[in-house]
């Protein structure tokens, strides 16, 4: 297995913590703090307004887009960074629906992240005109693709179970039926090889605070296939997507290609953290990451099942059908997870009964997986979770 | 005049620089760099995912909203922070139009920031159904308010000239005609007293990177009047605006009041900078700021007009009719501004011929205004701007 000692040293994880929640929030890359400090003091502090030109702030959304593009099989100039994932879903869906104007059905599944569904239903309510959001079970998606579907909108990796959709096959089937596709890569980018261009995805969106480690609420990204990039109308038509933002024309003219998916003033401080976080990937092969991630999660499943019969696997057993996380169910999953966190094994919980554990080889190794299982086995076997302190509900789970 | 020595010491402005561009990007508050560093190392670095609970990240958009609310005459619980100004304009307009469903006209003016108009036209194109954006000259707004208008959408302070709309009077007239109002406070918040609640504004939006000094691309804010807060439908219905985001329901149910205007995961790093930047305002009276800002800009106008007959005032001469900036026209305004910047008098330029100078008493004093005018007079009188190095166009002006 590839040696990830180098990348592990690039993260500032507190001693003794086994961090299995990079699928929710990646840990701090050491360089991110330094880079943000420099941005604040040297760029903003010294250059002030001139930073927009001399520090390259204005072109950062494209520069970072290209860097992310290389991790998800997208050519330079097809990805741009900004806003939040929910906003990028809105943009992608609004554009995709207009590109398929004779149809009225958006197909998604119950494994999609709820915010994507909320955004879709909010958009459809604004549009009226008979638009409909059809939500089926993940395993029924393929059969539900027919010639009524305008847009197939899915999250590639299920946020609860880690179940992985077959992007290539579903996109092919969608196209054959005359539908466009939007892929949410929240749990894919940085977790496994994604080949947007070769899979012929029409749109893709994702966040950068999970496997890309850019910090809480870090900016999102959007990909638009070159075939649509100059025709998609950005419903969120902000000045940064204008052909000439600094001409201050009263009328909107969409900028070239992916530029039009920019909206407002880019978040420069957050982008400095993202830029540094992406440095971690220099020289890293996504195939190696994937190989190691499957090995680590297979090991985890094997060990947990051997030692904790109380827990039920909720993720696909076949590593090639999973993202980079493993979930186990237990009726007291919430309390168990709190007890684990108290012992520095950090995963998270999704209602009603799902414990999630993320495996990111960049900073998690086999010894830590084994150590984590020791603690899980101890907590579960001895019901160490069975105290009021572990049942107290937090705002964020 | 109030002594602003204390607040001046809170900013990291390079020695020798006279910074008259706080109307475009406020300077770095010393505490912001420290606060962001702490957020990165102590909160993200040490707490990791637990930061959402223990470091108060999740409630930060409301906390910061309340702090901004106090600067713009809005009660606690009526303002929330997030996204960009363009996105917040979209939210406000989409909600306002639905609250006035029998009408189809949005009234705005040519003094509005172009992005607001772009966003409006993008939204209207999505909506169809005969919606219309009517854009008149600023001085014609009042007469154009009639019973066809659904929403009056204006920027209070003109970004080019600094001309100030009468929010109270226009809102009253709009309400009398049955229209709702949206006020963009980009050049108002932190620049002058704003009384949203007492003026009965329906919606307001603004950015925090100008007079609130939170850094390039810092997050925006939105205000919704309490009377609308529980009925406005958030067209951008993201999970953070859901009644129970962590229930992960498949259906959207809007959260209570202003909470529903949240969309995606909040930008925590940027919010740390904003939090520190707002500390500068503790104990500062907006009336004092306004008084000093008018005194400084009146002085600037008087001195520039006396010494630079080549420049033509583009701002209202009456300080009570201006925001916190003064603009002068000159056919070679671009080159003049570049020459000034080369001599550390930093303002900016808006096509075709407008030089903008912002006066923010928090860190600009009378001696600097006089020193700036000395340099402007020298540059203009001796045509020191007349060189190719000052005509080179930058990406951002």
ipTM of the complex model? 0.97
Question: A178 burial class (0-12, 13-18, 19+ CB within 10 angstroms)?
Answer: middle
What is the reported pLDDT for B395?
Answer: 74
Residue B153's pLDDT band, with cuts at 50, 70 and 90, is very high
- Residue B50: half-sphere exposure toward Cβ, Cα within 13 Å: 19
**pLDDT of res. B212:** 98
Token readout for B81 is 């922070």
At A176-193, the pLDDT tens digits run 999 999 999 999 999 999
Identify the closest residue of chain A to B244 by CA–CA distance.
Answer: A395
CA count, 13 A, side-chain hemisphere, A177: 22
Q: Give per-residue pLDDT as tens, B285-315.
A: 999 999 999 999 999 999 999 999 999 999 9
Residues A74, A279: Cα–Cα separation, whole Å: 18
Tally of CB atoms within 10 A around B111: 21
Beta-sheet pairing, A105-109 with A132-136: parallel
Partners of residue A239 in chain B, C-beta under 8 Å: 86, 113-115, 118
The active-site residue, picked from B4, B11, B90, B113, is B113
C-alpha angle B198/B199/B205, rounded to 5°? 105
Chain B residues with CB under 8 Å of A58 CB are: 395-396
Question: What are the pLDDT digits (tens) for A230-289?
Answer: 999 999 999 999 999 999 999 999 999 999 999 999 999 999 999 999 999 999 999 999
Contacts of B46 in chain A (CB under 8 A): 14
Q: pLDDT tens-digit profile of B157-172?
A: 999 999 999 999 999 9
Task: Using CA coordinates, name the residue in chain B closest to A214.
Answer: B269
Residue with tokens 């309510």: A125
Rama region for B317: left / alpha / beta (φ>0; ψ in -120 to 50; rest):
alpha
CATH of B32-279, one of 4.10.520.10, 1.10.3720.10, 3.30.70.20, 3.40.640.10: 3.40.640.10
* Fold of the CATH domain A5-29+285-390: 3.90.1150
Nearest to A215 among B117, B119, B268 (CB): B268
Cα separation values, A62 from A111, A194, A217, B319, Å: 30, 19, 19, 41
For chain B, the residue count is 397
Q: List the one residue out of B8, B362, B44, B270 whose CA is nearest residue A44.
A: B270
* The two structure tokens encoding residue A87: 């906003």
The per-residue pLDDT for B2 is 86
Is residue B363 over pLDDT 80?
Answer: yes
- Closest to B353 (Cα-Cα) out of B329, B336, B384: B329
Across the interface, do B25 and A49 touch by the CB < 8 Å criterion? Answer: yes
Q: Which of A14, A115, A265 sits opposite B84 (nearest CB)?
A: A265
Residue A393: per-residue pLDDT: 85
Residue A397 pLDDT > 80: no
Quick one: which of B250, B97, B234, B244 has its CA closest to A122? B234
Alpha helices in chain B (DSSP H): 5-8, 30-38, 51-54, 60-69, 85-99, 114-127, 141-144, 167-176, 196-199, 226-229, 268-279, 286-307, 333-342, 366-381
| Confidence (pLDDT) at A334 | 96
Chain B residues lying within 8 Å of A20, measured CB to CB:
none
Percent of the residues in chain B that have a pLDDT greater than 70, as a whole number: 99
Q: Residue A114 is nearest to which of B87, B239, B269, comparing CB atoms?
A: B239
Class of domain B5-29+284-390 as given by CATH: alpha beta
Which are the contacts of A333, defined by CB distance < 8 A and separation ≥ 6?
A349, A353, A354, A355
Place of tokens 């209202």: B316
By CA distance, what is B125's nearest residue in A? A235
Give the DSSP per-residue string, A13-74: PPTT-EE--TTTSPPPBHHHHHHHHHIIIIIIIIIGGGHHHHT-GGGHHHHHHHHHHTTTT-
Using an 8 Å CB-CB cutoff, list chain B residues near A358. Answer: none
For residue B230, give the nearest of B197, B195, B259, B201 by alpha carbon. B259
Q: How confident is the model at residue A380 (pLDDT cuts 50, 70, 90)?
A: very high
Q: Which residues pair with B19 in a beta bridge?
A: B346
Is the model's pLDDT at A395 over the cut of 90? no
Max CA-CA distance within chain B? Answer: 69
* Cβ contact B216–A53 (<8 Å): no
Nearest to B264 among A58, A84, A252 (CB): A84
Would you call A239 and B44 a contact, using CB atoms and an 8 Å cutoff? Answer: no
Q: Which residue has the tokens 């005109």?
A: A129
Class of A31-279 per CATH? alpha beta
- Cβ within 8 Å, pair A27-B36: no
User: Which uninterrupted H or E stretch holds A96?
Assistant: helix A85-99
User: What per-residue confidence (pLDDT) applies to B396?
Assistant: 76
Contact call for A17 and B216, based on CB within 8 A: no
How does the average pLDDT of chain A come out, rounded? 97
Active-site residue, from A66, A184, A202, A348:
A184
pLDDT digits (tens, 9 = 90+) for A2-13: 899 999 999 999
Find out whether the peptide bond into B322 is cis, omega within 30 degrees of 0.
no
Confidence of residue B240 (pLDDT cuts 50, 70, 90): very high
* 3 state DSSP class of A148: coil
The confidence score (pLDDT) of residue B23 equals 97
A356 a catalytic residue: yes
Q: Domain residues of chain B, as ranges?
A: 5-29+284-390, 32-279
Residue B394 confidence (pLDDT): 81
Rounded average pLDDT over A115-120? 98
Question: What does the pLDDT average to over B228-234?
Answer: 97
pLDDT at residue A2, rounded to an integer:
86
What's the rounded mean pLDDT across residues A45-51? Answer: 96
Among the listed residues A4, A11, A19, A209, the single catalytic one is A209
């Amino acid at each position: 297995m590839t040696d990830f000692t180098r990348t592990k040293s690039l993260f500032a994880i507190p001693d003794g913590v086994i961090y299995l929640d990079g699928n929710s929030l990646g840990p701090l890359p050491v360089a991110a703090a330094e880079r943000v400090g420099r941005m604040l003091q040297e760029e903003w502090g010294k250059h002030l307004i001139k930073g927009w030109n001399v520090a390259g702030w204005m072109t950062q959304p494209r520069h970072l887009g290209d860097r992310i593009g290389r991790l998800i099989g997208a050519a330079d100039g097809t990805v741009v960074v900004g806003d939040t994932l929910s906003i990028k879903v809105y943009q992608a869906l609004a554009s995709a629906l207009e590109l398929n104007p004779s149809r009225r059905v958006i197909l998604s599944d119950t494994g999609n992240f709820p915010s994507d569904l909320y955004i879709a239903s909010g958009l459809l309510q604004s549009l009226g005109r008979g638009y409909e959001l059809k939500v089926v079970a993940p395993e029924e998606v393929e059969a539900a693709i027919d010639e009524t579907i305008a847009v197939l909108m899915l999250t590639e990796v299920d946020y609860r179970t880690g179940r992985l959709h077959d992007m290539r096959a579903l996109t092919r089937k969608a196209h054959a039926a005359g539908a466009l596709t939007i892929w949410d890569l929240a749990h894919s980018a940085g977790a496994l090889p994604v080949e947007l261009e070769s899979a012929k995805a029409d749109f893709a969106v994702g966040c950068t605070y999970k496997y890309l480690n850019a910090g809480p609420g870090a900016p999102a990204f959007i990909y638009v296939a070159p075939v649509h990039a100059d025709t998609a109308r950005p419903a969120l038509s902000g000045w940064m997507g204008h052909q000439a933002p600094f001409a201050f024309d009263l009328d909107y003219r969409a900028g070239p290609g992916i530029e039009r998916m920019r909206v407002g003033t880019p978040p420069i401080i957050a982008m400095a953290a993202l830029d540094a976080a992406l440095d971690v990937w220099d020289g890293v092969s996504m195939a190696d990451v994937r190989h190691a991630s499957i090995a680590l999660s297979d090991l985890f499943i094997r060990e947990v099942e051997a030692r904790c019969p109380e827990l039920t696997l909720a993720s696909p057993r076949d590593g090639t059908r999973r993202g980079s996380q493993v979930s186990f169910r237990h009726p007291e999953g919430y309390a168990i997870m709190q007890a684990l966190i108290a012992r520095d094994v950090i995963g998270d919980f999704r209602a009603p009964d799902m414990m999630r554990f993320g495996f990111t080889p960049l900073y998690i190794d086999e010894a830590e997986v084994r150590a984590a299982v020791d603690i899980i086995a101890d907590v579960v076997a001895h019901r160490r979770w069975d105290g009021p302190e572990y049942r107290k509900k937090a705002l964020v789970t």
